[in-house]
């Protein structure tokens, strides 16, 4: 008998589920008179985190002694949900227990008529959502009568869909809600953030304020996450001012909000402000330390990041797995190979077994330093199977160092893992092309076309006057398109006078003509955003751009020259790190 069937039979035996049923009305009639609160068995059931079998055994004992009440079922369902929220992603015996227990508890509640009570229905919805069983939760939601649902029911469904990444379903439930409260708006904003729709999250937040709701700490954490990803500094600063005015910042217990604030400032490149918030927090926790160390790493302050890590250890804080990821990233962004190796080896001294992410960071560190064979060996010898993200980082290093030997093996592995991602073909194609392996390059292009693989669209974002402006390569949607393109043309002519020559070596996949390659480079999304910034942002203010992909080599050179020619401070955050361009020099020292 399969394992999950054995678990189901065992749990059925615990509950004593019979095919015959007493009338729901009879059972419901006894709910008000049956003893529940104050009962020792109910008190035991109310303790969260018990295994499913233990919770059902307690329920069985309660049912043997008296008629279960809605209170009984709410405790049972809440107990199962509490443990399910921290479940393992693998189908372990415990997960099988909880999946089976959810069905049995649902059957018992239905049999006894308990689902007529909103508190029981809501607990069942939360249980199914915690288990990721959204179709089951939706069935309960859709088949419950209007008296069995309340605002909590609607909020639970919006939140459940949001946490599972189904923004469309969350939006559909949210729009249908008869009444929306602050929790409803908070759940919808969180759903947008989890789905990566950060601009929509800010639009929903504006609608919430327009409907007269004042944000609380939970809403503001989500808003700060959206601001961080978009680089929407002015919106983030508005949140900070609001926190001060409302007295929400600096309170004990608000460390999650302050951590989001630190993270936002770091991801907008405002390290002085992030330090000011970090130093003002009354009660630090390891998540806050991680945010600050990671922010320093992303902004190229590897030495300060390592110093802060040592300070954290000296103060008695215990690092977790995420701590070592950000510390290793600090070493990677500044080429500190020996220190990175030492940090990796020290993980077990802190009781932490390296995971896939840590091996990936170590391989990335070695690869960027040109130690490509050693980096490949790290991924091949790690105790778990490396994923595409780890191989992808190594592939970028192979292209950087023009290493066809390792790059071809890694590139083919990536295409095998993600055959529909056009970006994987493009990188290997470019490596073949710059190495003169044109027959291999043509065969790869044909393979990509036959499979219909598409490359991720490059997007750049820039904030001005409270609005986030989005650009993509060759974009003509913006109202200032004519001015932007005119400035780019003038900019290029002036740069050519001081010796700028386009590097078209990485714009090869779909173009044979050198002029076409140059035109493509001229209108990359970050260049359009940069031109918009020069046109609109005052000279004494830095131009801040966020890009969803890695900045290409030519755009990096272009930004350095523009910063010198136009005497502008330009801050670009790409997928991996920050670049501060000032006076013709980048803070990354051309190591990214």
- pLDDT on residue 51: 65
With tokens 């013709």, the residue in question is 584
- State the average pLDDT over residues 22-47: 50
- For 441-483, the pLDDT digits (tens) are 899 989 998 998 888 888 999 999 878 899 998 889 999 999 9
Comparing 333-337, 510-514, 520-524, 546-550, the range with the smallest average pLDDT is 510-514
Q: Of 391, 591, 445, 429, whose CA–CA distance to 507 is shortest?
A: 429
Higher per-residue confidence, 432 vs 74: 432
Query: Are the C-beta atoms of 28 and 112 separated by less than 8 Å?
Result: yes
Beta carbons within 10 angstroms of residue 550's beta carbon: 15
Provide the pLDDT for residue 206: 95
Mean pLDDT of 21-35: 40
Please state, in angstroms and rounded to a whole number, the distance separating the CA atoms of residues 366 and 3: 44
Whether residue 72 has pLDDT greater than 50: yes
What's the pLDDT at 214? 94
Is the full-model pTM beyond 0.85? no
Token match 């890694």: residue?
410
List, as one string, the DSSP characters of 504-573: -TT--TT---HHHHHHHHHT-HHHHHHHHHHHHS-TTS-EEEEESSPPPHHHHHHHHHHHHHTT--EEEE
| pLDDT winner (highest mean) among 10-24, 124-138, 340-354, 493-507 | 340-354
Beta bridge partners of residue 580, listed in sequence order: 571
- Give the tens place of pLDDT for each residue, 273-296: 999 999 988 888 999 999 999 999
pLDDT-above-70 percentage for the chain: 83
- Sign, CA torsion 273/331/389/411: positive
Query: Which candidate, 331, 334, 319, 405, places its Cα nearest to that of 362?
Result: 331
Query: Does 10 score more than 50 pLDDT?
Result: no
> Residues 6 or more apart from 199 whose CB is under 8 A from it?
226, 230, 468, 470
φ/ψ of 478, rounded to 5, equals -75, 145
Residue 484: φ, ψ to 5°: -60, -45
Cβ 464 vs Cβ 537: under 8 Å: yes
Sheet holding 459-464, edge to edge: 467-472, 459-464, 543-547, 570-573, 578-582, 585-586
With CA atoms as reference, report the closest residue to 434 among 473, 394, 407, 452.
407
Q: Whole-angstrom Cα distance, residue 500 to residue 109?
A: 74
pLDDT category of residue 89 using cuts at 50, 70 and 90: very low
Distance of alpha carbon 85 from alpha carbon 80, whole angstroms: 9
pLDDT score recorded for residue 54: 67
In sequence order, which residues have a C-beta less than 8 Å from that of residue 9 and are 6 or more positions away? 1
Least confident of 148-152, 307-311, 363-367, 516-520: 516-520
Calpha distance 259→345 (Å, rounded): 28
The b/e string for 495-505 (b: 16+ C-beta within 10 A; e otherwise) is beeeebebbbe
Note the pLDDT tens digit of each residue in 391-435.
Answer: 999 999 998 899 999 999 999 999 999 999 998 998 899 899 888
Return the sign of the alpha-carbon dihedral for residues 77, 82, 83, 87. positive
Residue 144 is classified by DSSP as S
Tokens of 33: 């008179």
More confident residue, 19 or 295: 295
- Mean pLDDT for all residues in the chain: 84
Give the pLDDT of residue 97: 66
- Give me the residue label for tokens 């806050």: 288
Give residue 107's pLDDT band: very low, low, confident or very high (50, 70, 90): confident
What is the rounded CA–CA span in Å between residue 131 and residue 108? 18
Provide mean pLDDT across the span 494-515: 64
Do residues 300 and 333 touch, judged by C-beta distance below 8 A? yes
pLDDT, tens only, 336-391: 999 999 999 999 999 999 999 999 999 999 999 999 999 999 999 999 999 999 99
> Higher model confidence: residue 260 or residue 454?
260
CA angle 380, 366, 269 (to 5 degrees): 125
């Amino acid at each position: 008998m399969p394992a999950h069937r054995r678990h189901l039979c065992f749990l059925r035996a615990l509950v004593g589920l019979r095919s015959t049923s007493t009338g729901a009305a009879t059972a419901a009639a006894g709910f008000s008179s049956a003893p529940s609160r104050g009962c020792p068995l109910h008190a035991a059931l109310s303790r969260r985190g018990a295994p499913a079998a233990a919770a059902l055994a307690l329920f069985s004992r309660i049912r043997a002694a008296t008629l279960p009440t809605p209170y009984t079922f709410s405790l049972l369902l809440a107990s199962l949900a509490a443990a399910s929220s921290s479940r393992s992603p693998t189908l372990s015996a415990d997960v099988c227990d909880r999946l089976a227990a959810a069905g049995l508890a649902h059957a018992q509640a239905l049999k006894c008529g308990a689902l007529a009570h909103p508190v029981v229905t809501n607990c069942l919805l939360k249980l199914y959502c915690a288990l990721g069983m959204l179709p089951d939760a939706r069935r309960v939601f859709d088949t419950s009568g209007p008296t069995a649902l309340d605002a909590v029911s609607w909020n639970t469904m919006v939140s459940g869909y949001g946490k599972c990444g189904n923004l469309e379903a969350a939006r559909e439930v949210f729009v249908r809600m008869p009444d929306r409260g602050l929790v409803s708006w908070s759940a919808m904003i969180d759903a947008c953030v989890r789905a990566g729709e950060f601009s929509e999250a800010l639009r929903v937040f504006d609608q919430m304020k327009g409907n007269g709701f004042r944000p609380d700490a939970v809403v503001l954490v989500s808003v700060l996450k959206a601001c961080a990803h978009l680089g929407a500094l002015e919106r983030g600063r508005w949140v900070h001012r609001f926190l001060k005015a409302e007295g929400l910042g600096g309170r004990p217990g608000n460390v999650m909000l302050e951590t989001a604030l630190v993270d936002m400032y770091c991801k907008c490149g405002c390290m002085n402000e992030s330090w000011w918030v970090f130093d003002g927090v009354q009660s630090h926790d390891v998540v806050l330390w991680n945010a600050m160390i990671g922010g320093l790493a992303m902004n190229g302050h590897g030495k300060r990041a390592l110093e802060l890590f040592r300070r954290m250890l000296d103060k008695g804080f215990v690092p977790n797995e995420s701590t070592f990821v950000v510390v290793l990233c600090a070493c990677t962004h500044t080429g500190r190979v020996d220190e990175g190796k030492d940090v990796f080896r020290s993980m077990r001294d802190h009781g932490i077994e390296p995971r896939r992410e840590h091996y990936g960071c170590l391989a990335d560190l070695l690869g960027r330093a040109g130690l490509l064979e050693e980096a490949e060996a790290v991924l091949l010898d790690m105790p778990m199977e490396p994923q595409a993200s780890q191989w992808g980082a190594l592939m970028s290093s192979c292209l950087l160092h023009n290493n066809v030997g390792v790059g071809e093996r890694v590139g083919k592995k990536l295409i095998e893992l993600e055959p529909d991602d056009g970006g994987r073909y493009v990188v290997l194609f470019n490596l073949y092309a710059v190495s003169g392996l044109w027959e291999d390059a043509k065969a790869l292009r044909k393979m990509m076309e036959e499979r219909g693989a598409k490359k991720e669209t490059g997007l750049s974002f820039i904030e001005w006057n409270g609005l986030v402006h989005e650009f993509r390569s060759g974009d003509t949607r913006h109202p200032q398109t004519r001015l932007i393109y005119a400035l780019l043309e003038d900019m290029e002519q002036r740069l050519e006078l001081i010796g700028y020559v386009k590097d078209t070596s990485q714009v090869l996949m779909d173009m044979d003509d050198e002029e076409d390659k140059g035109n493509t480079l001229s209108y990359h999304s970050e260049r359009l955003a940069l031109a918009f910034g020069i046109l609109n942002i005052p000279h004494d203010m830095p131009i801040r751009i966020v890009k969803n992909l890695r900045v290409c080599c030519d755009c990096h050179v272009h930004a350095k020259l523009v910063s010198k020619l136009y005497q502008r401070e330009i801050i670009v955050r790409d997928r991996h790190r920050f670049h501060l361009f000032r006076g013709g020099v980048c803070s990354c020292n051309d190591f990214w």
